[in-house]
Each structure stands twice: as C-alpha cells, then as structure tokens.
Amino acid sequence: MTTPKDSLQNKYSLVKGAARRARQLQSGASPLIVSRSIKACRVAQDEIRSGHVSFGIPEPKRVVLPLTV
C-alpha cells in the first residue's frame, strides 16, 4: 500500500491516484475533507495529501509455465 508520503515522492502515482479519485468525485462521491476548491482534481489531491485517501500499486502477476521435456 502506498502511503501519502510515498505518493508525494512519486508524481506519476500521485497523478494516477488523484485522477481516479477525481472521477469518483465527478460521479457523485462525497468529498472526505472540506477543501477550498470545488474542482474535483484539486479536491482529490488535497484528500491524498491529507491522508484521507490512499492507493496501492498492484503486484505484477507471476505466471508459472510448465517445463516440457
């Protein structure tokens, strides 16, 4: 699981997580914090920075192939 501190160190992850949360907000989800902005993208970024929203990077799937003799 990515922590708020980690998400700020990796800008790509922060943008992906904020974009996903912004889509949720635009679809009708309630904001988890009171933000000065009404824009979904900014509210999502504020939620992540304050630690109210976290996101994880899934582990890659490992495929085990059978050995043929």
Query: From CA 58, how far away is CA 60, in angstroms rounded?
Result: 6
Torsion over CA: 16, 21, 26, 27 (sign): positive
Domain spans in the chain, listed from the N-terminal domain onward: 4-50
Whole-prediction pTM: 0.67
Q: Are 50 and 35 in contact (CB under 8 A)?
A: no
pLDDT digits (tens, 9 = 90+) for 5-64: 554 557 888 888 899 999 999 999 999 999 899 999 999 999 988 999 877 767 788 888
pLDDT of residue 68 exceeding 90, the answer is: no
CB of 18 closer than 8 Å to CB of 44: yes
Question: Which amino acid, residue 22?
Answer: A
